[in-house]
Amino acid sequence: RHPRLQGDWSSDVCSSDLNPFDRLKGTAKVADRDWRYVTRDETRAICAACPNLSWRAFFLLCRLAGLRRDEALMLPWSAIDWENHRLKVLAKKTGRERIVPIEPELFAVLLEAYEAAAEGEELVVSLAHVSRPSLRRRFHSICKAAGITPWEECFQVLRRNCETRSEEHTSELQSPCNL
């Protein structure tokens, strides 16, 4: 995204005076003001405040698996690979399929929801318990019940939190000079 900054980093690391991106104009992107990191403690508090198992599954699919709102709502049970702890998600937005790892906390909730699901229920999140028209408003009331101030763009923030957490847990990047 920011080749000029990468060039600065690589020239520092490689102790080279040349930055091939110096002639590019532009600056680094300004941080998003709506960004909010939802901590593990806040995640647990929101999860505890969810009114039912469908809401817990929906919330954790968005927060821990990084699913988009509609992906979480329309996820079928058949998309869960129970043995390998993975989800197969068809992104409606891009039309591509991706494999998403299931974290242990999410796995436990999915297993509990599967055991409690009605006979013939096809979707992980029961639409009888999670109303689509009032998702944002209901999520804000759940946050307030958990003692957490709700934030704007709640479902996008949850997805971004998952991406940020994934980046934090990846191994250290190698210097381009050592490749």
The tens digit of pLDDT for each residue in 88-129 reads 998 887 888 999 999 999 999 999 999 999 898 999 998 878
Find where tokens 């996820």 sit.
75
pLDDT in tens, 125-176: 988 788 778 899 999 999 999 999 998 888 888 888 887 665 554 433 332 3
| Distance from C-alpha of 109 to C-alpha of 104, rounded to nearest angstrom | 9
pTM more than 0.75: no
Helix axes 53-63, 104-116, angle to 10 degrees: 150
Which DSSP string corresponds to 39-80?
-HHHHHHHHHH-SSHHHHHHHHHHHTS---HHHHHT-BGGGE
